[in-house]
Structure 1
Amino acid sequence: MTRRKIIACLDIDNRRVVKGKKFQDVKELGDPLELAKKYEAEGADELVFYDISASVQQRGMFLDLIRQIGESIEIPFIVGGGIQTLSDVELAIEAGADKVSINSGALKNPDLLREASERYGSSRIMLSMDVSQSESGQWTVFAKAGNEDTGMDAIEWAKEAERLGAGEIVVNCIDEDGMRNGYNLELTSLVANSVSIPIVASGGAGSAQHIRDVFEQTNAQSALVASVLHFGIVSLDDLQQVVKEGSYGD
């Protein structure tokens, strides 16, 4: 039986931790280095650093900040945002990333997933998908921090990413992002059931029950949390208690 994981998420804009709702009304919340240390101490299994404006602003990553965080924590450290080339993957790993999460860069050049996984191993390469449901009911992938509708079907993109070598997929539901109404269990299940690699549920966590729901009702291996931690709604200890109490099959 695979142990489920809680991943603390730091969305970074202008070198500060921020959070909005459905990628809008973004507010500054704190210092990323301080929060990284805090969430590790409180029991996060992994930490993810998303530079949410790098692709939109067409700039590189804050490598000095990534390096500072990587040197300050011991839990697995995931870095995403602004990863457009194999060189970017290399820079992130050299700066301290244990895993690299690729989103818009893979949409622009799907072979980036293959090239990165061949060089560094699938276990270090993640695909991140920002997904929203259209009026027709199709789950569609968005690029550039949710600003650009690619028209791509999320389920087919997940399958392609696995074929290309991604070792893990973060499925973020834009419609639920920051809303604290719970993960979109339908989307999470559809993606998890379409691939054999681990899935990280993202977007919507608002309580410990939401963590329990996503692990009991989908095949997600990990749950990403942000707002509930930043605003002190639920503690990591409470979330880890859900993991300990659960009996989740593979």
Structure 2
Amino acid sequence: MLTKRIIPCLDIKNGRTVKGVNFEGLRDAGDPVELAKRYSEEGADELVFLDITATLEKRKTLVELVKRIAREINIPFTVGGGIKTVDEIEELLKAGADKVSLNSSIVKDPALISRASDAFGAQAIVAAVDAKRNEGSWNVYIKGGTEDTGLDALEWMQETEKRGAGEILLTSMDRDGTKAGFDIELLSKVNQLVTIPVIASGGAGTVKHCIDAVKEANADAVLAASIFHFREIEISDLKEEMLQAGIEVRPV
């Protein structure tokens, strides 16, 4: 049985780590290089770095910051935000990223998934999906959650797998920053439809929320931000309680 992963997320704006609620009302959460180093030392399994305004500001991800973080950590590192081409993916992988997270660019050009997967391997390509409830289903949002594409999220995630994504980073926009728990219904439905790993994002507030995402919705990893940034939950404590709940995790 594969171990389940704990993944802190660094949302970056203007070179600082920030966190909001439902993608709005951002507040400062610290220096991303210091936080990354801390998480690596505290037993996080991976790290996600999202340059959350890169697409809106029509610029590339902060390559220099990626290099600085990569020098400080010894765990797998996913980078996303404003990535549009195979050349940009190559630049970030050379800068120290292990994987790239693609969202707006693959909605506009789904073939980018296949081109990137062919060039670097599926394991390096993460399809990031920002999903928001729309009556009985979920729609895909892009541009940092500001634009409704009208795409059905469940159908889109199946397509990303077919085109060569190695993993899905699924964020519930309805739950983001609320600490009300992950969207178990959404996660469960996705995991019935795809075979690649799904990272649960949006809503982590307690240890139980993380355990539920794995045990009830079959998430392969749980991603969180503010509970780790502001030390509401320590990674070592979370892993200990997950072990006690019968979930395989990598020891701290």
Shorter-chain TM-score category? over 0.9
Q: What secondary structure, in the 3-state scheme, does the structure 2 residue paired with 1:82 have?
A: coil
> Which residue does the alignment assign to 1:231?
230
> Which residue does the alignment assign to 2:155?
156
Indicate conservation of the 8 Å contact 1:37/1:73, yes or no: yes
> Which residue does the alignment assign to 1:107?
107
Q: What secondary structure, in the 3-state scheme, does the structure 2 residue paired with 1:3 have?
A: coil
Quick one: distance in 2 between partners of 1:118 and 1:243? 36
Quick one: distance in 2 between partners of 1:150 and 1:242? 39
**What is the CA-CA distance between 1:180 and the residue it aligns to?**
0.5
Give the TM-score, by structure 1 length: 0.97
Quick one: distance in 2 between partners of 1:138 and 1:241? 35
Quick one: distance in 1 between partners of 2:45 and 2:151? 32
**What is the CA-CA distance between 1:247 and the residue it aligns to?**
3.0
Encode CA deviations 1:189-214: one digit per residue, 9 max, x unaligned. Answer: 11111100000000000011111111
Quick one: distance in 1 between partners of 2:178 and 2:82? 25
Encode CA deviations 1:197-239: one digit per residue, 9 max, x unaligned. Answer: 0000000000111111111101210000111011211111111
**What is the CA-CA distance between 1:246 and the residue it aligns to?**
3.4
> Which residue does the alignment assign to 2:93?
93
Quick one: distance in 1 between partners of 2:132 and 2:216? 20
Q: What secondary structure, in the 3-state scheme, does the structure 1 residue paired with 2:55 have?
A: helix
Aligned amino acid, residue 143 of structure 1: I
> Which residue does the alignment assign to 1:144?
143
**What is the CA-CA distance between 1:144 and the residue it aligns to?**
0.4
Quick one: distance in 2 between partners of 1:121 and 1:160? 17
Q: What secondary structure, in the 3-state scheme, does the structure 1 residue paired with 2:204 have?
A: coil
Quick one: distance in 1 between partners of 2:123 and 2:13? 27
> Which residue does the alignment assign to 2:179?
180
> Which residue does the alignment assign to 2:132?
132
Encode CA deviations 1:149-204: one digit per residue, 9 max, x unaligned. Answer: 00000010001000000000011000000000110000111111110000000000
Give the TM-score, by structure 2 length: 0.96
Aligned amino acid, residue 178 of structure 1: G
**What is the CA-CA distance between 1:248 and the residue it aligns to?**
4.7
Indicate conservation of the 8 Å contact 1:193/1:219, yes or no: no
Gaps of 5+ in 2: none
Quick one: distance in 2 between partners of 1:243 and 1:104? 33
Encode CA deviations 1:80-126: one digit per residue, 9 max, x unaligned. Answer: 11111111111110110001110111111111100000010001110
Q: What secondary structure, in the 3-state scheme, does the structure 2 residue paired with 1:206 have?
A: coil
Are 2:40 and 1:40 aligned?
yes
